[in-house]
Amino acid sequence: MATISTACMATAVGSMPYTDPKQAMELVLKYLPSLPIWPQLPKRSFLESMYVQFTEGLPGVKVEGDKIFVDLNEDMDKPLRKLLEDYEVKAFSKYPVKKDYAAGLYTFLSSRLGAPQAVKGHITGPVSCGLSITDTEKRPILYHEILSDALARLLRLRAAWQEKQLRTVCSNTMVWVDEPYMSSFGSAFISISREQVLSLLGEVLAGIEGTKGIHCCGNTDWSVLLATSVNILSFDAYNYAQTLSLYPAEVKAFINRGGIIAWGIVPNDEANLSKETVSSLRDRLEEAMAAFTRKGISIKQLTNQALVTPSCGLGAISPDGAIQALELTSELSAVLRKKYA
């Protein structure tokens, strides 16, 4: 893995509220030139929604209108064997994400990126994907041992394929695993053990050779995610900064091994965006970091090993709101880099 000097660099989570990938890329290049992302465009097509985008080829999967499910009436023995064979020989070239599923990725790969320090991709995690896709009896496939294992292997192959594509435009790559459903881990809504989570996440992360990240946009048991092989922990620092500070020992160990925290300090809802400024967000972020400096992590370490991002994806807000969030992210990054880097 190449060493990337992040030092409060600006980037974003993934989704954007556009249907034209070229329009989305123009904004990425304007506001996130040092660490550009490829834009996910869920409003362009249901195929680009995060719980569908990477699932083509999953045995038994069906997409009908705006629904995705696994048909248990399908004969899945042969496709399951084929997936296992491809997984065992790391045949990720057979598992591309097609253009209909990710127009933003293909536009990104053909864009003039300049000289970024790194490029960022993303893939939906096995826990969130497994809870969102149900079978014909409305049961999440996460609770099918064979299907959940198959999903994790498919996502591993897709992550490896994506990373190879990203390396055609920049040798330094980041691929983040998006796990919003981890915010329900430990609740009555999810019946899954810590060991299962670590096993499923470990499977997908093993397909990423470069910098690995995990994003969760709610409160969770952060010790679980910090126990994985990730190099970047991305979280909603605008709403949940205090929850991460409850794990000082784990965060300190993560930072000391070179881990990077992506501080999602710029809100992704228009009500909060309308009342925030670069100055107010800087104060909010420094207050959040202070909770860690009081527990023995230096501000220099925190800021050197930091990214600045919106709190989550921008796909659900208006185009004007997305521009405002990206502008705040970019300007806040510049202020922090001038002060700390």
State the average pLDDT for the chain: 95
In angstroms and rounded to an integer, the radius of gyration of the C-alpha atoms of the chain is 19
* Separation of alpha carbons 202 and 284, rounded Å: 33
How do the residues of the chain divide into helix, strand and coil, expressed in percent and rounded to 5? Answer: 45, 15, 40
Nearest Cα neighbor of 57 from 138, 150, 137 is 150
Q: Is residue 4 part of a domain?
A: no
- 15: containing domain: 9-340
Q: Is residue 202 part of a domain?
A: yes
Q: Is residue 96 part of a domain?
A: yes
Query: How confident is the model at residue 341, as a pLDDT?
Result: 77
CATH number of the domain to which 302 belongs: 3.20.20.210
Q: Is residue 1 part of a domain?
A: no
For residue range 138-161, what is the model confidence (pLDDT) as tens digits?
999 999 999 999 999 999 999 999
Residue indicated by tokens 């009081």: 294
Query: How confident is the model at residue 2, as a pLDDT?
Result: 54
Mean pLDDT by 10 residues, the chain (341 residues): 80 96 97 98 96 96 95 94 97 96 98 96 97 95 96 98 98 97 83 94 97 95 96 97 95 96 97 97 97 94 97 96 98 96 77
* Separation of alpha carbons 209 and 231, rounded Å: 11
Q: Is residue 271 part of a domain?
A: yes
**Strand, helix or coil for residue 228:** coil
The single-letter code of the amino acid at 183 is: S
Q: Is residue 2 part of a domain?
A: no
- The number of folded domains in the chain is 1
List, in order, residues 6 or more apart from 108 with CB less than 8 Å away: 21, 25, 28, 36, 37, 38, 39, 119, 169
Q: Is residue 305 part of a domain?
A: yes
Residue indicated by tokens 């004969």: 75
Q: Is residue 255 part of a domain?
A: yes
Assigned token pair, 279: 């100055």
